[in-house]
Amino acid sequence: MNDVKNALASLRAARQSEQPLDPTPPVPEPSEAPLSAGKGQPTIQEDVAPRGEVKTLAGRVPLSLHRELTRALLDAADQLKLTRINVDEALEAAMRVVLRDQDSQERWLEELRAVRRERRSG
């Protein structure tokens, strides 16, 4: 019992003292310069949110394409007799189609080239 009392007394004394017994080291400030992955390798910066947390593509694609996706999701929900379809699930299904079908993949590459040309010229 005396051991417990002594331990409590030392704990109270430590809490009341001006300097803690185990001070935490200061956290260094982040540097302004980005860390490079290596010589000749570009640094990749991504804003990645956990799956299911980002609900829309707003700000990442043109508004007209975002509206087109929204309409397609509503139509798909009607056809499947669902109340709603998760954007993540819809995009995953679309990417499966594009990546697994050779004709779709070739069309996707054409669209990708067109988007890159538009962004460079605009």
pLDDT per position as a tens digit, 34-87: 554 445 544 444 455 555 555 556 677 888 888 888 899 999 999 999 998 888
pLDDT of residue 43: 47
Q: Mean pLDDT over all residues of the chain?
A: 75
Tell me the β-bridge partners of 61. 58
Question: Pick the residue with more confidence: 14 or 61?
Answer: 61
* Residue boundaries of the structural domains of the chain: 63-121
Percent over 70 (pLDDT), the chain: 62
pLDDT of residue 42: 46
